[in-house]
Amino acid sequence: SQQGEEDPQALSIQEGENATMNCSYKTSINNLQWYRQNSGRGLVHLILIRSNEREKHSGRLRVTLDTSKKSSSLLITASRAADTASYFCATDVTGGGNKLTFGTGTQLKVEL
């Protein structure tokens, strides 16, 4: 598996339900970020969690980070059709210079 691998690859839920996406990584990180990408569009930064943080909230988003398991989760509560997009985790690897390492993404579909 590669640094920053999301699970599941695809997720389909009904509007109003919660969506949980997971990300696993391999090496030590400075921080982990979640991005959203609508089909054919650019990336939108959602949230950043530092390596010394365990949980962070932003609106309907909740992100957790477990550095002992090298994993993170993104929870979207009360999902809406507009949340339909691909979600990527990206890691700022310790000693990795100035680049982000992205996972392969989770495709979320929220149906009415």
Partner 1 sequence: NAGVMQNPRHLVRRRGQEARLRCSPMKGHSHVYWYRQLPEEGLKFMVYLQKENIIDESGMPKERFSAEFPKEGPSILRIQQVVRGDSAAYFCASSPVTGPSGYTFGSGTRLTVV
Q: Which residues in this chain contact partner 1 in the complex, by CB under 8 A?
A: 4, 30-31, 33, 35, 40-45, 48, 88, 90, 92, 97-105
Look at residues 89, 82, 72, 78 and name the one whose alpha carbon lies nearest to residue 108: 82
| Nearer to partner 1 among residue 23 and residue 76 (C-beta) | 23
Cβ of residue 111: shortest distance to partner 1, in angstroms?
Answer: 21
| Nearer to partner 1 among residue 48 and residue 77 (C-beta) | 48
Cβ of residue 39: shortest distance to partner 1, in angstroms?
Answer: 11
Cβ of residue 16: shortest distance to partner 1, in angstroms?
Answer: 28
| Nearer to partner 1 among residue 77 and residue 104 (C-beta) | 104
